[in-house]
Chains A and B, each alone.
Chain A
Amino acid sequence: MSESTMMSQIKRTFSLLNQRACSRSSSSFFTDSDSAGLVLQSHSTDVYQNLALEDWIDANVELQGRGILLLWRNRPAVVIGRHQNPWTECNLPVMRRAGIPLARRRSGGGTVFHDLGNLNLTFFTSKKAYDRQRNLKVVTDTLRRLRPGLDVQATDRFDILLNGRYKISGTASRLSRKSSYHHCTLLHSADRSALSSVLRPSCPGIQSNATPSVPSPVANLLDHAPSLQWEELLGALVQQYNTEFGLHSALTVIDPTNESMFPGVGEMEMELRSWDWTFGKTPKFTMETQLELTNEQPPARCSARLQMEVKNGQIESCHLDVPVEWVPVRLSSELSSVLIGERFCPHRAAAAFSALLRSESGATHTRLHRLCDAMLTVMG
């Protein structure tokens, strides 16, 4: 089948699947088994485009009596759960230096590192048909079929463990108006040292009721099944999905930025990229930590205490307790007050401090500078 024929068939399928508004006018198309499921693979490796595609399918596709499997992978990125705190879950300075973006997804659960060696699977169904264990069975059945000796097991936390110890897959999900999706990772050949360097806290001393991650030792499938190629894994997963759900869907590659096929997906992508969504949705938290201040000429050292309250990613209150020998009280209280209302972000804080720094000179300026640097360091 030519690509254009395939694409127009997909378009037709999507527009028929879109008939939420006229759900009563069921045609025989809906009873045709080919329309009972779709298997899609995203052409994009951009985390925001792929998350937007999930949002689009969730919002627009009629899923009563049918399911969709979406396969996708991303260039290196960290993805946090809906109600998580990025400053406790990942190392933002390391990520910035490495050019690894942060995304917040709409499903719950914990923080994961994505790269091209990690496969993401999203199972879209109606809320009634939502069944995570069944979906994970598709994955474990596939792996056992491909490599019969492999010890893989889904846990009651919906992780998949290899050899009873190493996490190769984690799960999260979302229940929305009429439908649901369950997505999971699958570590084939991810960069484990990058993973462990980014999945560490950015800031000390954060107290919050955000949902925490449960850290687990991980392993790559490729390390335990060295001949298991990516394409082989994908093909077998598609086959097992079809078997499990009684479908005959061929894998179709789609472009999640195709606005004519997915009208409105671009706007969803923009929202996912926004600071307001990624950082602004962080549950309220307090940060309390000690700053160690040292100076060379003349040699000096002391400790200061910093306490902040952050809501919607913005600094609501800030208290700085600095010994007066370091800088006068008027300066430390000025430093606190310029931060109120600013985003909890070292760049914004640095900009806010700059005017104050310019107005001082000599030894006071040096010590003030040290104090500012210490504050920026603990803000991720």
Chain B
Amino acid sequence: MAACWLLRSLSSNFSTVLPLLARSASLSPLQLASKPYFGRTLASSSRLSAALKFTDKHEWIRVEDGIGTVGISNFAQEALGDVVYCGLPEVGAQLAQQDEFGALESVKAASELYSPLTGEVVEINTLLADNPGLVNKSCYKDGWLMKMSISKPAELDSLMDEAAYERYIHSIED
């Protein structure tokens, strides 16, 4: 099941056909043994589309041209349940890494959102005001939360790539 969402998220994020990279055997055990699949590009190797990095609070960030788009992961949106309200920051807000920048209210609870990096909010997803469910339906694409400038690019190294995030989720679930 986790492998299926991975496939869906890959196909929704990569708009161009990228060179297929075979997965090395040492990567996660979520192999699709019987079907062909698209490999993932590594963050540093592609300028056409950036890879996602993840925090341990289940936010993702995708950096393109110095601007990071932030959202929550599929694991997070499933755990959260139906989002009924997105409390987002003001454009111009200055955030340090791990600062609380807003909250999502779902039927389950009000959950804080934590900034993946240090920077300034440059845009928020105004569609979420009338359609907070986008966070559930399309957490990696239309349900993005905010965009921010990156003051300390080195902080990206402290975040998990997709493989590391998958391992992290498995370790919590156990």
Cβ–Cβ contact B111 & A83, under 8 A? no
Number of interface residues of A (CB under 8 A): 22
- Give complex CA distance A209, B57 in Å: 26
Q: Which residue of A lies closest to B106 (CB)?
A: A108
- Give complex CA distance A172, B108 in Å: 8
Cβ–Cβ contact B109 & A108, under 8 A? yes
5 smallest CB-CB distances across A and B, nearest first, come from A108-B110, A173-B109, A108-B105, A175-B111, A83-B85
Given that A209-B85, A283-B85 are known contacts, is A82 also in contact with B110, CB under 8 Å in the complex?
yes
- Give complex CA distance A128, B173 in Å: 9
Cβ–Cβ contact B110 & A175, under 8 A? yes
Q: Which residue of B lies closest to A281 (CB)?
A: B87
- Could you pull out 20 A-B pairs where Cβ atoms are within 8 angstroms? A82-B87, A83-B87, A83-B103, A108-B85, A108-B105, A108-B109, A128-B172, A172-B110, A173-B110, A174-B111, A175-B108, A175-B109, A175-B112, A177-B57, A177-B112, A180-B109, A209-B85, A209-B129, A209-B130, A211-B84
Q: Min CB distance, A107 to chain B, in Å?
A: 5
Mark interface residues in A102-114 (1 if CB within 8 Å of B CB, else 0).
Answer: 0000111100000
Given that A82-B103, A209-B129, A209-B130 are known contacts, is A173 also in contact with B85, CB under 8 Å in the complex?
no
Mark interface residues in A159-178 (1 if CB within 8 Å of B CB, else 0).
Answer: 00000000000001111110
Cβ–Cβ contact B85 & A211, under 8 A? yes
Q: Which residues of B contact A176 (CB under 8 A)?
A: 111-112
Q: Is B101 an interface residue (CB 8 A)?
A: no
Q: Is A228 an interface residue (CB 8 A)?
A: no
Q: Is A194 an interface residue (CB 8 A)?
A: no
Q: Which residues of B contact A174 (CB under 8 A)?
A: 109-112
Q: Which residue of B lies closest to A180 (CB)?
A: B109
Q: Min CB distance, B113 to chain A, in Å?
A: 11
Q: Is A222 an interface residue (CB 8 A)?
A: no
Residue of B84, B109, B130, B172 with most chain A CB atoms under a 10 A cut-off:
B109
Given that A83-B85, A211-B84 are known contacts, is A173 also in contact with B108, CB under 8 Å in the complex?
yes
Q: Is A210 an interface residue (CB 8 A)?
A: yes
Q: Is B144 an interface residue (CB 8 A)?
A: no
- Give complex CA distance A177, B112 in Å: 7
Q: Min CB distance, A121 to chain B, in Å?
A: 16
Contact of B87 (CB < 8 Å), options: A107, A177, A182, A283:
A283
Q: Is B114 an interface residue (CB 8 A)?
A: yes
- Give complex CA distance A210, B129 in Å: 9
Cβ–Cβ contact B112 & A210, under 8 A? no
Mark interface residues in A91-119 (1 if CB within 8 Å of B CB, else 0).
Answer: 00000000000000011110000000000
Given that A83-B85, A211-B84, A211-B85 are known contacts, is A177 also in contact with B114, CB under 8 Å in the complex?
yes
- Give complex CA distance A66, B109 in Å: 20
Contact of A211 (CB < 8 Å), options: B57, B105, B129:
B105
Cβ–Cβ contact B110 & A107, under 8 A? yes
Q: Min CB distance, B19 to chain A, in Å?
A: 40
Cβ–Cβ contact A83 & B129, under 8 A? no
Q: Min CB distance, B119 to chain A, in Å?
A: 20
Which A residues from 182 to 226 make CB contacts under 8 A with B? 182, 209-211
Q: Which residues of B contact A173 (CB under 8 A)?
A: 108-110
Q: Which residues of A contact B57 (CB under 8 A)?
A: 177
Q: Which residues of B contact A283 (CB under 8 A)?
A: 85, 87
Q: Which residues of B contact A82 (CB under 8 A)?
A: 87, 103, 105, 110
Which A residues from 115 to 147 make CB contacts under 8 A with B? 128, 130
Mark interface residues in A254-287 (1 if CB within 8 Å of B CB, else 0).
Answer: 0000000000000000000000000000011000
Q: Min CB distance, B31 to chain A, in Å?
A: 28
Q: Min CB distance, B146 to chain A, in Å?
A: 16
Residue of B84, B110, B172 with most chain A CB atoms under a 10 A cut-off:
B110
Q: Min CB distance, A152 to chain B, in Å?
A: 22
Q: Which residue of A lies closest to B131 (CB)?
A: A209
Q: Which residues of B contact A180 (CB under 8 A)?
A: 109
- Give complex CA distance A172, B106 in Å: 11
- Give complex CA distance A167, B87 in Å: 28
Cβ–Cβ contact A107 & B85, under 8 A? no
Q: Which residues of A contact B109 (CB under 8 A)?
A: 107-108, 130, 172-175, 180, 182
- Give complex CA distance A130, B110 in Å: 13
- Give complex CA distance A83, B88 in Å: 11
Residue of A83, A107, A173, A284 with most chain B CB atoms under a 10 A cut-off:
A83
- Give complex CA distance A172, B105 in Å: 10
Q: Min CB distance, A11 to chain B, in Å?
A: 28
Q: Which residues of A contact B103 (CB under 8 A)?
A: 82-83
- Give complex CA distance A180, B80 in Å: 13
